[in-house]
Amino acid sequence: MKSILIKDTTVAERAQIVREALGADCDCEGQDFTDMYDDYIYGLKELSDINREFSEKHAGEVTSGGI
């Protein structure tokens, strides 16, 4: 598998990586996840940093059907 690090990819490749990873419809309850990954696409933050920051910010907010 090819590296997905910013230093090893172009803007076009990073945009394609995000599109493929998220699938066709990337909107979930008003959150547009393609926008969330703009910093990766434009070479500002690695995917791992964006995902970690999102997880830290939203930890505990997801519930599973009232359990």
Domain definitions of the chain by residue range: 6-46
Query: Which pLDDT does position 19 carry in this prediction?
Result: 87
| Sequential DSSP letters for 7-31 | GG--HHHHHHHHHHHH-S--EETTE
Query: Which pLDDT does position 23 carry in this prediction?
Result: 79
Alpha-carbon distance of 58 to 19, in angstroms, equals: 22
Position 38 pLDDT exceeds 90: yes
> pLDDT tens, 12-27?
999 999 988 887 555 5
Largest CA distance in the chain: 43
What amino acid occupies position 39? D
Q: What is the mean pLDDT of the chain?
A: 82
Higher pLDDT, 29 or 51: 51
Mean pLDDT value of segment 54-62: 77
Note whether 22 and 34 are within 8 A (CB).
yes
Query: Which pLDDT does position 27 carry in this prediction?
Result: 52
